[in-house]
């Protein structure tokens, strides 16, 4: 005997919503592309020498001077970047203008024109005032550390570094991504470099989850904010 259970439309809708709530959220295509872009670079395997020459030093296996110590110098090496970003900007302007004028004529008291003009009809004055002011200010601060890998060594010795740090917290996820160019001379003996010393730096700090959603406007409110003329 076959038993069939018919589900009403509201019950089926609630069941689908429950499954969707417990299903893992798929990352958007842009997020996956960023993860690939900031993926770590691993040190390549040293090529086998074409001919054994018995030498201890093999340049094709990678070279770093002894004076560099433990500092990053080759592809795949690890480097710690200290985030010390702090920017402040302010701008203000003001303008005031004024203009005033008056004119007065004494009407004739005799003759035929004395009957055409009255004393109150020949007085004129004008005034124009304007006052405007504007102010703008902005400040940003970012501190912390992130460890990246060397993805490429340029011909002049400059290091192209990139990396990402992903934190899964109680109520959401936090992502820190950075890429840029580093001079070996700016790397400290403990294998650190300040973010202010990174050329062409691209630092991204984003998050997602309940806290990030609560700090944003809803999609309908964002729509009305864009189309509102006020």
Confidence of residue 3 (pLDDT cuts 50, 70, 90): very low
Is it the case that residue 19 has pLDDT exceeding 70?
no
> Rounded to an integer, what distance in angstroms lies between the CA atom of residue 39 and that of residue 209?
22
Evaluate whether 82 touches 193 at the Cβ level (below 8 Å): yes
Burial 66-94 (b: 16+ CB within 10 A, else e): eeeeebbbebebebbbebeeeeeeeeeee
**Range scoring the smallest mean pLDDT among 8-12, 79-83, 224-228:** 8-12
Give the angle subtended at the CA of 149 by the CAs of 144 and 152, to the nearest 5°.
Answer: 135
Residues in the chain: 230
Tell me the domain boundaries of the chain. 31-39+69-86+143-225
Q: Please tell me what DSSP assigns to residue 163.
A: E
- Is a pLDDT exceeding 50 seen at residue 23? no
- pTM for this entry: 0.60
Mind listing the pLDDT tens digit for each residue in 91-132? 888 888 888 877 766 666 666 666 666 655 556 677 888 888
**Which of the two residues, 85 and 228, has the higher pLDDT score?**
85
Query: What average pLDDT score do residues 81-99 get?
Result: 88
Report the distance separating Cα 178 and Cα 194, nearest Å: 12
* Residue-level pLDDT at 158: 92
**Higher pLDDT pick, 41 / 52:** 41
Q: In which order are the strands placed within the sheet that holds 159-169?
A: 192-194, 78-104, 123-153, 159-169, 172-182, 199-209
Pairing, β 78-104 against β 123-153 = antiparallel
For 92, residues 6+ apart whose C-beta sits below 8 A from its C-beta are 133, 134, 135, 136
């Amino acid at each position: 005997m076959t038993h069939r259970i018919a589900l009403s439309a509201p019950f089926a809708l609630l069941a689908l919503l429950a499954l969707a709530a417990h299903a893992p959220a798929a990352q958007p295509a842009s997020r996956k592309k960023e993860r690939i872009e900031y993926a770590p670079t691993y040190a390549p395997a040293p090529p086998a020498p074409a001919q054994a020459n018995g030498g201890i030093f093999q340049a094709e296996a990678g070279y770093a001077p002894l004076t560099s110590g433990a500092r990053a110098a080759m592809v795949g090496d690890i480097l710690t970047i200290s985030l010390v970003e702090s920017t402040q900007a302010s701008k203000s302007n003001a303008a005031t203008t004024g203009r005033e004028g008056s004119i007065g004529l004494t009407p004739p008291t005799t003759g035929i024109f004395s009957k055409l003009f009255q004393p109150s009809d020949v007085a004129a004055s004008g005034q124009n005032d304007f006052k405007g002011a504007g102010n703008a200010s902005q400040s940003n601060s970012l501190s912390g550390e992130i460890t990246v890998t060397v993805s490429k060594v340029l011909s002049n010795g400059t290091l192209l570094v990139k990396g990402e740090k992903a934190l899964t917290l109680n109520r959401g996820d936090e992502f820190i991504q950075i890429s840029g160019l580093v001079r070996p001379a700016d790397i400290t003996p403990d294998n650190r470099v300040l973010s202010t010393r990174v050329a062409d730096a691209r630092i991204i700090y984003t998050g997602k989850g309940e806290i990030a959603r609560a700090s944003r406007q809803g999609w309908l409110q964002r729509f009305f904010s864009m189309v509102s003329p006020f």
